[in-house]
Chains A and B, each alone.
Chain A
Amino acid sequence: MLLNDEQQAIYDGAKGESLAKVMKTLVMYGDTFGATKMVPVESEYGHLVTSFGLSVIKPVYALMDKLLAAGAVSKQKFTVDPLPLDKNVPTNFLQDIMFKIMYGKQDFYNGQLQKLGILDEKSYTCTCYMEESGNAPKEGQVLSWAESSAVVYANSVLGARCNRNSGIIELFGSIVGFVPYFGLLTDEGRKAKWIIEVETTKKPEAQVLGSAIGMKVMEDVPYIKGLSKWIGTELNQASKDYLKDMGAATASNGAVGLYHVDGLTPEAVKLGEKLINSNAKVYKIDDAELDRVKNGYPIIWKDKDAKPKLAFIGCPHLSVDQLNDWTDKIVSRLAKNGKEKVAVSLVLTAAPKVLDKFKGSDNAKKLEKAGVVISYICPLMYMNNPLCGKMPVITNSNKLRTYTSAKYMTDEEILSAVAGEALA
């Protein structure tokens, strides 16, 4: 890889040993993927994936301390993934003890993040790109982000350019202000190797569609046709929310970092089918295919027919519109069943700044009355507590299903469960 004078000087140690090692790491990383040069990070803010102060990741804290001691902080402020703890989310005594042991370094790590450059104390969310959280990069900007669901959203819906970076690498890019130029940063790397033909008779569940696409194309770029019939040709809040949930499933059930939706996402609108490689493969998705995918998810509960104890909605975090929509659905479903409170503990998760906007609204009061908890927590980190992982938890998130023991249910099935209707 060719480095410019500034980059070479850092590499050679002009700014100290730690920064030289940061640059060396990025160069080796880029060389592995055939990068020819380093390019400047262009977005205003970064986004980090590692938000949890897990006691066991001591080597990470030691590394951060080394960076801080060398003055190697992020050149840009950044947002971070959601926090693992929130006392509002139901736990029992033993689970609480486990949380204290597991995330014993949380306060310490939050302090490190402050010194490294976190935007503010309410910047812990996976949906940093929502208006309220204020970290929405512009089309064409190069990013140094991690968090698979945020990267796939920024690339696909916002038209920014970011690779599927690992934790630590994204911080390194923000520290030196450069990232290696390869993969999804290049025009060639953004071309589709798959054509997805959506031929369903009803609007597909976003998270099952994303799961089907992810499992089929793995790390390749798909060009999705037939979806605008169901979600329109305008990037409004409803279609953005749909793409957020679909994308998170493509990125976790597979390793998709970018998708194009015909007639909807920015590059597809501009370039259309020119984005498709000439030898692209075709994957048709109809109702039966979605059923096949959904029925194939393993249920890893000990008692497969256990009554759910807890339901999570909001992985990735919900928008204000989604919070309002869920409130309407939950309240009317409870009323239909002659109930006031949910039959299964239900937690809706959203970014701290989204919750600030939602709290105090009539709908927030309705949720409280129905016994629904709203939280900024990361459901995945909650489920990583082995004592929580043993509980029968249901979710409409295919990401949460993939990484934990939570069982996937469609929105309709979740509603039925929390309203206390007999589960099919």
Chain B
Amino acid sequence: MKTFKGRVIVPGVADAEALVTHAGFNTLASFQKALMFGDKTSKCSDQNNKDLVGKPMAGKALCLPQTIGSTTGGMVLFCAVEMGRQPACLLFSKPIDSLAAAGAIIAGVWSENKMPTVDSLGDEFLDAVKDGARVVVAEDGTVTVH
């Protein structure tokens, strides 16, 4: 069991299975097919992301460095949350980028559904956490990897 302390972007708690990407997370490319074709498990459709492609993202603790890609990214994240197809939480190893921050915050303010978001967990967090590990997020941004 390892514990990491990050910065809270959108407060909340979560207890979920980890899904890890070491490459930048392209929000639009990842959610595009799931949102378009009604896949409630939100299988990642980003062909360029070998860590995630084809894996369900809904309900997972998505562990990532940063997001990349189109400036529609924030809007896409908000839609995923509002449609209930979002990851259980977003856990960033690096300081959050402006597109992901926008999406997580818009969802935090405007949606009833929750997607707690923590950033700056450090590179060692991404090294330690593996797909399928149990991850617990506390209100103060403490993330425990079991």
Partner-B contacts on A (CB < 8 A): 21, 24-25, 28-29, 32-33, 49-50, 54, 56-60, 62-63, 102, 146-148, 151, 163-169, 183, 219, 252, 255, 298, 300, 384, 386, 402-403
Contact = CB atoms under 8 A, between A and B. Distances in A.
B32 A166 contact: no
Contacts of A49: 70-72, 75
Interface in B93-125: 96-99, 101-103, 105-106, 108-111
Given A50-B75, A56-B79, A403 B9 contact: no
B99 A25 contact: no
Nearest to A28: B105
A160 B66 CA distance: 26
Given A56-B36, A59-B79, A386-B33, 20 more contacts: A21-B109, A29-B98, A33-B98, A57-B79, A59-B78, A59-B82, A63-B78, A63-B110, A102-B36, A163-B98, A164-B71, A164-B98, A166-B72, A166-B98, A166-B106, A167-B73, A219-B97, A384-B32, A403-B29, A403-B69
Most buried by B among A54, A146, A252: A146
Interface in B44-96: 47-48, 68-76, 78-79, 82-83, 96
A28 B96 CA distance: 13
A118 B73 CA distance: 22
B17 to A, nearest CB: 25
Contacts of B47: 300
B25 to A, nearest CB: 12
A421 B81 CA distance: 49
Nearest to A166: B74
A49 B98 CA distance: 15
A182 B132 CA distance: 37
7 contacts: A29-B98, A29-B101, A57-B75, A59-B82, A59-B111, A166-B74, A166-B106
Contacts of B74: 166-169
B71 A146 contact: yes
Contacts of A255: 68, 97
B105 to A, nearest CB: 5
A33 B9 CA distance: 10
Given A56-B79, A300-B47, A25 B71 contact: no
A165 B102 contact: yes
B133 interface: no
B113 to A, nearest CB: 10
Interface residues of B, number: 35
Contact of B106 (A25, A33, A56, A403): A25
A49 B76 CA distance: 12
Contacts of B138: none
Most interface-central of A21, A56, A163 (chain B CB within 10 A): A56
B105 A29 contact: yes
Given A33-B98, A148-B70, A166 B48 contact: no
Contacts of B16: none
B29 A57 contact: no
A143 B13 CA distance: 35
A21 B109 CA distance: 7
Nearest to B31: A56
B72 A33 contact: no
B145 interface: no
Contact of A33 (B33, B78, B101, B111): B101
Nearest to A298: B48
Contacts of A28: 105, 108-109
B36 A54 contact: yes
A314 B73 CA distance: 22
Given A32-B96, A166-B98, A298-B48, A147 B79 contact: no
A183 B71 CA distance: 16
A62 B106 CA distance: 13
Contact of B71 (A32, A63, A166, A219): A166
A165 B48 CA distance: 24
A60 B69 contact: no
A300 B69 CA distance: 18
A149 B24 CA distance: 19
A294 B74 CA distance: 29
B73 A166 contact: yes
A148 B79 contact: no
B99 A164 contact: yes
B101 A32 contact: yes
B126 interface: no
Contacts of A252: 69-70
A16 to B, nearest CB: 15
B106 A168 contact: yes
Given A29-B105, A166-B74, A60 B79 contact: yes
A24 B109 CA distance: 8
Nearest to A183: B98
